[in-house]
Amino acid sequence: MSVDSSLLQSIIDRSSDGPHVEKFQEIIETHTVEVLPFQEWRFEINSNDKLKLRLLKGTAEIFGTEVSPNIDLTLQGSLKSSISTFSGCTIKYWNCQPSSEYVGEESCIGSYLNLHLGLENLRINSQTGGPRVLIIGPKDSGKTSLSRVLVSYAEKMDRRPLLVNLSPRDSIFTMPGSLTATAISGMLNIENITLGETITTGPSFYHPKQPLVKCFGLENYRDNLKLYKYLIERLSDSVEKRLMASEDVRKAGIVIDTPAFHIGDFEVIQEIIDDFKVDVLVVIGNERLLVDLKRKLKYDSSKLKLLKVSKSSGCIDVDDKYKREMQQRAIKEYFYGMDNSQLSPYTIMVNLKEFIFMKPKELAALNMAFMSTDAVEDEANKTSAEIKYSDFMERVKIASSSNLENAILAIADDSDLEVGKYVTAVDDKEGNLELIKAIAGRSVLGYCYVLGCNDKEGKAKLLIPSPVQHLPTKTFILTQFRYHE
């Protein structure tokens, strides 16, 4: 049987090219959004989604922080956000489809810019320091967004504004349950849900956004209004020292974010104005609140300006489930970092009998927002000498898995105390009162997480961000917050 030589040669030629492999190219569905000047693209993504986007053309920003062109950004987890533009832009996004997305034609970025320019004018003309801005508004009115825009715009002008957060539900550079003050000396991380890196996730341990942190330990400021007001006073003292220590920060001024205050909280608002020496009060989206505050607050109109800013049409109601997800993500990030900056936290075993555990009292019954007018005035007239420290915190008499498992603990500063004499004296009322006086208003050293408790051995395993052989304290503050890995 003869074989055609030409056919044989063609077979040899094909075999010399190596095995034939079919290549499949992954098809990624992309979407493009055109946003006109002074409009914004609003979007929401679910907890398990990861949205990637890129600015193709024009200029854009996320809450005042500029989006770099032709660089991929990754936003993941439950998120409700927006990208705004002054000059128009083109955005490409892929990897997932937002659960909701649209271009909003009504944007407040123009009014926010005007407010920033007015504050910048005050910075230029002031001889003593920059403006001290307090932002007030109802729930989900955009207070945090406006705060972020104002400090970001100031940072673009080479300013170093101090961002103060008085909402314990939010996580601003640290754990929820905290009141903080942070000098903004660099761009905020727009891929991060807590406005920027925490103290543990920054480019270095001594990165510039290290906050002053007071531990409130509760989620709702009304759960212990006395402790809340006391911490505001102590935080304002720390802020004044920070301003005196840095001329740049002093010239840039302060922007204060707040929880959802209403007119029943006017005495708290008055205290914030007095303690922080506020000279610009901004009310978002509630003209009646502005009018009521003008009538009830005691202020000099030549020293305090009251302004109203419209509420963005992009503001939406946020439910408790979404808030919980944000808090859990902030806690996880504190210990484990982000995808592009992962951390390896450390564990340490402690003997529970060698430590003191305090916790904030929940005094919802003393919520002054529901007191009569006379009761409010009586409480407001109390002097600092009449403060009942016993209303702030209480000693955890038996530390065990029942109250420590999965808990977030604040590492209190007890550096100048003879802690040894307090450790075993659990029922010593005077000693516990001395502890409360010493640690309640101090800035905390950090946070740790209780991985587990062994009640039989009386030990607990703690997760901490940095390696240490010994903890710098013998006193912890047991917060209301829990984390489940």
List binding-site positions for ATP.
40, 80, 140-145
Contacts of range 292-295, beta carbons closer than 8 Å, 24 or more positions apart? 292/263, 292/266, 293/136, 293/263, 293/266, 293/269
Would you say the C-alpha torsion 167, 172, 176, 179 has a positive or negative sign? Answer: negative
- Triad 298, 302, 306: Cα angle to 5°: 65
Structure-derived torsion over alpha carbons of residues 175, 44, 53, 338, reported in degrees to the nearest 10 = 20
Q: Looking at the DSSP assignment, which residues form a beta bridge with residue 74?
A: 52
Residue 283, Cα to own-chain centre: how many angstroms?
20
- What distance, in Å, lies between the first and last C-alpha atoms of the chain? 74
Q: Is 385 left (phi over 0), alpha (psi -120 to 50) or beta?
A: alpha
Q: What single DSSP character describes residue 236?
A: H
What is the residue type of 106? Answer: E
**How large is the greatest C-alpha to C-alpha distance in the chain, in angstroms?**
117
Distance CA 130, CA 255 (A): 10
Which residue ranges are tagged as binding site?
40, 80, 140-145
